[in-house]
Amino acid sequence: MDFRFDEGLEEFRQMVRSAIAEDLPKDLRDRQRRFGGLQSDPIDVLQWTRILARRGWTVPHWPVEHGGCGWTPLQLFVFQDEMIRSFTPDSCWGGTHMVGPVIYTFGSEEQKARFLPAIRNGDFYWAQGFSEPGNGSDLANLRTAAVRKGDVYVVTGQKIWTSSAWASDWGFFLVRTDSTVKPQRGISFLLIDMKSPGVTIRRIPQINGESDLCEVFLDNVEVPASNLVGEEGAGWTYAKFLLDHERTTSSFIYFNKKEFALAKAMAGSLSLDGVTLDRHPRFQGRLARLEAEVSALEWSVLRALADEPFQYPEAAAASVLKVAGSRLQQAISELHVDLQGVQSIRLYPHEVHKRPARSPLWPEESEYATQRALVLRAATIYGGSLQIQKNIIAKVAFGL
């Protein structure tokens, strides 16, 4: 079997790599490298988006008529692979991968004209208002209500675990517009200006020193009815479309590849008992097993991108990738900590634009190693918990 990419794809990879090297500011790269690619500062995200916009590369996965690049699925894979490998800030995922496709598929012409160029150009940062206290996995029973009064909806309720809400200009929210029908049929999809009167945001301290996750309180927030996407009561359909639109991203394959490559390089440079860690009995087998799992995950993603015939529904495949990818995130981050030993325990406030003093006692790779491993304990919870994913696999693939 020949697992190499074809020559044309490798030429594409070199083109992307050269462009990133030319465009990526050093300060953005350094900040992203230190944080391990887990969370990009929203300021850096929008700056990088505006840089990519000059090449027309902010939404390459969108249809060409909406600003996409017309690349093949494998080209998109290589593009994202090179972005993460080069420590670029992430895209504004909420805009480019979530609400953007919903707007160009179901939105009005006015919404498309207003929001799609802004998403492409990095004008807005977007928040996703789905989960609620007590209704994370059970999203169909959300309680945030939107009552139509003339030309506005009056929204009241609470959302939680809303990433970067504190820095967001706009949010896309699931709200209940009808409580008399089946729960899924009474949900609508609203775009809300986060600066609207009645919107209160409280940041939640996290175990790794960040406070990116937020609670969002909506107290009689008036939202123009023109901000309703599609039809009233069809929000559940749009939410499923949003979550299914990128079925391979939940694998975090790009992050896993990059972080394992860093761990492998680290193991080759550190020694114990006079033996480099990549050859030491304590780590050699562990490295080999993780390398096999990363390779298997990558080829599983590529099979999905190539639309290889699959006997089970796509939802089951997406859940399998989520389970494997989230577990790998945890295993690789724990490997980083174990390889570094006591050097991994360095701790300081998580202030994105401040760099700690250099010291030979604390190599660059020790920065945020423990914080990363701690926060990734949530990798098997966010985006659909491990238990929920297993239930989906059992039900959808095997009818259990």
Question: CA 262, 81, 242, 166 torsion: positive or negative?
Answer: positive
C-alpha closest to that of 153 among 182, 180, 174: 174
pLDDT(347) > 70: no
pLDDT at position 388 over 60: yes
Residue in this structure with the two tokens 């079997």, named with its chain if needed = 1
Q: Which two tokens stand for residue 134?
A: 């007590």
Of 95, 101, 146, the closest CA to residue 121 belongs to 95
Average pLDDT, the chain: 89
178: Cβ–Cβ under 8 A, 6 or more apart, which residues? 185, 186, 232, 233
Q: Is pLDDT of 357 > 60?
A: no
* Helix then strand then coil, % of the chain, to nearest 5: 50, 15, 35
Give the pair of three-digit tokens for residue 145: 């209500």
Closest Cα to residue 119, out of 45, 178, 201?
A: 45
Q: What tens digit of pLDDT does each residue of 204-237 get? A: 998 877 888 999 999 999 999 999 999 999 999 9
Say whether pLDDT at 137 is over 70. no
Provide the pLDDT for residue 245.
Answer: 64
142-146: long-range contacts (C-beta < 8 A, 24 or more apart)? 142/174, 142/175, 142/176, 142/187, 143/176, 144/173, 144/174, 144/175, 144/176, 144/218, 145/175, 145/176, 145/177, 145/179, 146/175, 146/176, 146/177, 146/188, 146/190, 146/223
Cα 200 to Cα 158: distance, rounded to the nearest angstrom? 10
Q: What is the pLDDT of residues 10-55, one digit of tens each?
A: 999 999 999 999 999 999 998 887 765 567 889 999 999 999 999 9
Gap between the Cα atoms of 244 and 251, Å rounded: 13
Element (H, E) at 238: helix 235-245
Query: Which of 172-186, 195-209, 237-251, 280-294 shows the lowest mean pLDDT across its residues?
Result: 237-251
94 or 242, higher pLDDT: 94
Identify the pLDDT of residue 372: 86
What is the pLDDT at residue 353?
46
Measured CA to CA, the distance from residue 241 to residue 58 in angstroms comes to: 21
pLDDT at 317: 86
Alpha-carbon distance of 313 to 299, in angstroms, equals 18
126-129 and 170-176 strand pairing: parallel
Q: What is the pLDDT of residues 316-332, one digit of tens each?
A: 888 899 999 999 999 99
Residue 345 pLDDT exceeds 90: no
The arithmetic mean of pLDDT across residues 121-141, rounded, is 87
* Among the listed residues 236, 251, 227, 272, the one whose alpha carbon sits nearest the alpha carbon of residue 325: 251
DSSP codes of every residue in 162-219: -TTGGG-SEEEEEEES-SSS-GGGGEEEEEEETTSTTEEEEE---TTS----EEEEEE
Smallest CA-to-CA distance from 332 within 297, 384, 281 is with 297
- For tokens 């209940």, what's the residue? 176
- The continuous run of DSSP H or E covering 152 comes out as strand 152-160
- Contact indicator for 294, 328 with CB cutoff of 8 Å: yes
